[in-house]
Amino acid sequence: MPYHEFTIRIPNAFREKLIQRLTSKGCLGFIEQDQAIIAYFPETVDARAIARELSIVKELLEKTHRDLELTYGHGIIPDHDWNEAWKKGFTALDVGERFTILPPWEEARIGRINLIIDPGMAFGTGHHETTRSCLVLMERYAGKSAKARFLDLGTGTGLLAIAASKLGYEQVVALDIDPLAVEAAAKNVALNRVENVLIKEGSITDAPGTFDCITANIISGVLIVLASDISSRLNPSGLAIVSGVLAEQADEVADAFRLHGLTLIESMPDDKWVSLVFVK
């Protein structure tokens, strides 16, 4: 099946928003380059609808930020090229001291904790700063708390849940409100042959019991709303790793978690993002 390929140039600060909008319009995947984002859609998607969506974003951008602009090109590529392009975008990546994230077509690395991810349609190939920070923090704190129960809220491809299992957490729960993410996570859990990860469609209120560690790599607005529930599901010595927070929103997010009884113990910046670690 051929695919639509949109090559979009947009200021970096607006990439995330654009990715969200295009995902909701049926985008199958993105390749992020220095100068552009390449977005792929199935042949069945009406390219004119995507072009309209891009025009809306372009107009909004130009209205609110006079010097910034969005430009794009559209092409159709055959299936074969799509696979090649996809593969090029997802090469093995070492993260933290021990993790290697790799696609199913690459050989596992000896001596590393291999996290095999077939990105499917969900977010979380590990190439995003916030995902990488979560992995680094998980690794850093895994030895410092009990490892009975782990919750990955907003699991996407299931990457952090799989990492938790491989770090030795006994029981891992992975939740996502997006059924496509649940599907992708199930596939990746199977690829990694981890057997203690329970994947469910839903959010924090669907999480059974309490946890020693909770990861939530979502976005500030959602994290602020979920702060109370995250706090109440943490064990007394539990740890929450919260990410997806833009640097300028870190204080607001930290305040929300503080209000619900948590203490900020580490704040890890990466580019425009910050990941926060809280304890009860």
Residues engaged in binding ligand SAH (CB under 6 A): 122-124, 128, 131, 134, 152-156, 159-160, 175-178, 181, 203, 217-218, 222
CB-nearer residue toward ligand SAH: 102 or 175: 175
Residue 223: in which H helix or E strand, if any? Answer: helix 220-232
Contacts of 123 (CB under 8 A, 6+ apart): 23, 156, 157, 181
CB-nearer residue toward ligand SAH: 155 or 165: 155
CB-nearer residue toward ligand SAH: 181 or 250: 181
Cβ 76 to ligand SAH shortest distance, Å: 28
Residue pair 259/224 in contact (Cβ under 8 Å)? The answer is: no
DSSP 141: H
Cβ 205 to ligand SAH shortest distance, Å: 9
CB-nearer residue toward ligand SAH: 100 or 217: 217
Query: Residue 108 — left, alpha, or beta (φ > 0 → left; ψ -120 to 50 → alpha)?
Result: beta
Cβ 232 to ligand SAH shortest distance, Å: 15
Cβ 267 to ligand SAH shortest distance, Å: 17
Q: Specify which residues 115 forms β-bridges with.
A: 101
CB-nearer residue toward ligand SAH: 134 or 277: 134
Residue pair 197/157 in contact (Cβ under 8 Å)? The answer is: no
Angle subtended at Cα 253 by Cα 241 and Cα 153, rounded to the nearest 5 degrees:
40
Cβ 160 to ligand SAH shortest distance, Å: 5
Residue pair 189/216 in contact (Cβ under 8 Å)? The answer is: no
CB-nearer residue toward ligand SAH: 131 or 171: 131
Cβ 175 to ligand SAH shortest distance, Å: 5
Cβ 128 to ligand SAH shortest distance, Å: 6
CA-CA distance, 89 to 193, in Å (whole number)? Answer: 24
CA-CA distance, 178 to 175, in Å (whole number)? Answer: 9
Strands across the sheet with 29-32, in order?
29-32, 37-42, 3-9, 71-77
CA-CA distance, 160 to 158, in Å (whole number)? Answer: 6
CB-nearer residue toward ligand SAH: 135 or 264: 135
Residue pair 184/119 in contact (Cβ under 8 Å)? The answer is: yes
